Structure 1
């Protein structure tokens, strides 16, 4: 963000007032899959990106 570059999965024009409502289901599915594979690294990266972007006022969407 500091370089003015976009992060895919954030800032969709339809979800400026809040997160994509489909995220609740997809988060659960991502965590279930990560648990099944015993590999949470991608979930953790996505969560960190979400925290950072949300703090900047950018809402995530399902592309994330």
Structure 2
């Protein structure tokens, strides 16, 4: 049986890492979006998609 995730048992450094990631994910995503518009490559598009997914996941509370 899978162990349920409890946010209160997470170490403090993981909580701090999550707070820092939430603060930086939107500016990095905007920068990557502009860069993808100017110099579109396959890697840039995949990176932008991953960053958008991470931003949505943090916003919706999935991570």
Tell me which interval the TM-score lies in, with the shorter structure as reference length. Answer: 0.3 to 0.5
- Relative contact order (C-alpha < 8 Å, sep 6+): which is higher? 1
TM-score under structure 2 length normalisation = 0.43
Q: TM-score by structure 1 length? A: 0.42
- Higher share of residues assigned helix: 2
The higher radius of gyration belongs to 2
